[in-house]
Structure 1
């Protein structure tokens, strides 16, 4: 009975049935959170873990059927590693290796040339959770003085039970599309600590509705406009026949629309976490904060003219996970650039094995490197600082935004087109303008610095 209804609904919405199933499953998280608040908030931890595990498993089965065994296997193996291997570097390395190899094998055996919603999608979220769990358990064996403030919040004092790990892994607010959160945060939720009124469910209904409303608006925007910006249009003769300026503007508009697919899912999922209490983040300036599971800084995302600003406001929890568990743990390398490259490489293979992912993240590295040099140049140059603070800035801002979103779309094209033959065709049609633009900017930056920065400031910068 459900299958024909889903087929009709997907036809009426013009969306694939797996996408409709996924969105319905995310939305079902709201009634799950309400049930938790009404019937399970005061229950013992075992009962709460069972509720979270079975509700998440039901949603997983609804989307992926018998393929949910993949997640079950990885959770069980992770549990055995923690139990049998203890707080050792070997545990961390074994966990990292097993979970990543399992995920990459899944990518390899299920890969197609299209974006498919399959079991590997939630599994990549689960992989970070389980690998992070091994880091947090390892940190729990160190002296508190050896831990950073972040590590102190997430370090585990004991091995979680298998049921607790299942509740954490399958929690309906984060299993399908994120956000990332630590087991320690989940434990605080189960203990009833994540609330603005001790001993009672959080007063989070209004903040949750607000986040849902914004997410739903983004979903409507995506649903209405995405048919006008299909990925496969880039591969048509019609696109190639358009003037160069038209192709560039199309890329700019395409990326703005296509990213709302991710933005809407994350905002709606964040609303579920807020409703359950997991989004509670303490009090700042007398105001209760509900942004512990925020995966988007929407205002920054929409208004920043900087590539770095967009990256820092987009998929926040995944970026924070990578910073905490990869970048900062590579401090022993003694080289921030090498740590940055290694972190980007990890994020690349975590997304998948297609060549498009490698090209996308390599472009991110190039763009961020050039942008940081440009920001330093503006800061150190009295002339450029004056121009940036002049009445001309609104015009400069518009130009920045055009460059920003054009090359954001340029970078994301291979991410969405996946394979070499596709992204090469599109990049050829726009004459590799993004690569040429940033290569030229990188080459001329030292000469601009010599021309625009006084010698004294250049010396001080070198000494720093």
Structure 2
């Protein structure tokens, strides 16, 4: 269940407290950041949220005025002017949130540009880009890590890392013949060398710099060329679609703000939680998991609205209707209603999952084994999120859950008795039971993902007797026997032949 959630890493050799880190950086913040500090401090106190979180939310919201400035004043301007606007607006957001630490992103973007120019369309360039960007990100995790969730420069940098690695792949694909490319690659392949302004504008575009979504340089070039609009030659009629996504994102934010104080991560580590009955501890994981995800849902949906307002979200015409979902990172209705773990993954952090599928999973086709490619992709997403043991456990659990669910789906599909049952009047009851299991064990892998270190997640999992691991491990071991008992021999032999 890939999530665009960076800002984590392993514990450094010396633990760094938030307070000391803030003191070290205080004198180096720009004047505007210092002037805004008292106002932000009062705002964060009134909202009951940490100041970095308030800065991040304001920065996402500022994308809407930026998009309006682009529509009203810059839409017809030459490409260099638009690039400069995107560069300076993105740098301003970086400075507002992270002060002088914005230099990390500047270095990586500039190095990536040099690689494109000097190494050309070569495998060496792709490997060099992948290695440099990932090593830089992982070192950032290592040297800035604490045991808590911190909003720091590594958070947008993980988004940028995927952008820049993807850029190297797309540039490499641009040197291939058309028959060698998939339809997906043809849409993103770069046929010419991008300019320095293009690369920086693409990297710092205010609609995707902080929390995503992922998009290609080709899409960005189409935006600057005024091609992403439903009104040829004019700004897109995207205000209403953008406001709809903003309203939905704001609703999710309100839900999170109301319920999150009742479900803090820290409660897991208290004696009170451990003293609760087993059923209560499990239900707490279920409700906590639902609430905690609204933090990501709200940010992504609000950011998507910015992309739609600017035009980047335009996705052509389907069945006579203009589509604005090119930058959709969430399918909220599917996310809320699906009883399947696979459905949750398909609805959550869509662009990051699509990036991993396009640039990792599908490019490992030469291995000749989907399971190996799947494991390699999950391993990449694990280290991309950070170096804590919790990430490894989360994605390992995800792999086990998805494997069992696919086996269960195949069992229901191939068994006449089970197929008849799910198509009968019993389905509402089956749906409720399935949804309870889904929500419970959706929160279960999130425990190590959010608590990071083994001493914390081990304490929580021990308190619920590793019920999720046992449930899916037993299901995995029992599934072949159920298949033998419930699927006719003829069906089984046909499946083996296929």
Say whether the fold is shared (TM-score over 0.5): yes
Question: Cα RMSD (Å) of the superposition?
Answer: 0.4
Give matches, 1:39-438, under 5 Å: 39-438=73-472
Distance in 2 separating the partners of 1:461 and 1:362: 28
Given candidates 2, 5, 12, the residue that maps to 2:46 is 12
Q: Which runs of 4+ in 1 moved over 3 A?
A: none
Written as runs of structure 1 = structure 2, the 5 A alignment for 1:441-452 is 441-452=475-486
Partner SS state of residue 153, structure 1:
helix
Superposition deviation, residue 248 in structure 1: 0.6
Deviations 1:177-201 (A, max 9, x none): 0000000000000000000010000
* Count of residue correspondences: 464
Aligned equivalents of 1:383, 1:452: Cα separation in 2: 7
Secondary structure of 2:387's aligned partner: coil
For residues 214 and 79 of structure 1, what CA distance do their matches in structure 2 show?
37
Unpaired segments ≥5 residues, structure 2: 1-34
Measured in 1, the distance between the counterparts of 2:200 and 2:90 equals: 9
- The 1-side partners of 2:388 and 2:183 are apart by 36
Aligned match of 1:25: 59
1:385-435 CA-to-partner distances (Å, cap 9, x unmatched) read 011001111111111111001111111100000000000000000000000
Instruction: Give 1:150 deviation, angstroms.
Output: 0.6
SS of the aligned residue for 1:215 comes to helix
Q: CA deviation at 1:2?
A: 1.5
CA deviation after TM superposition for structure 1 residue 10, in Å: 0.3
Say which is worse superposed, 153-162 or 184-193, in terms of deviation: 153-162
What TM-score, normalized by structure 1, do the two folds share?
A: 1.00
5+ residue gaps in structure 1? none
Q: CA deviation at 1:158?
A: 1.2
- Is the partner of 2:444 in helix, strand or coil? helix
Q: TM-score, normalised by structure 2?
A: 0.93
Cα distance in 1 for residues equivalent to 2:85 and 2:420: 60
Shift of 1:159: 1.3
In structure 1, the partner of 2:10 is none
Q: Residue 35 of structure 1 corresponds to which residue in structure 2?
A: 69
How far apart are residue 65 of structure 1 and its match?
0.2
> Which whole-Å deviations, capped at 9, do the CAs of 1:282-311 have from their partners, x for residues lacking one?
000000000000000111100000000000
Counterpart secondary structure, 1:259: helix
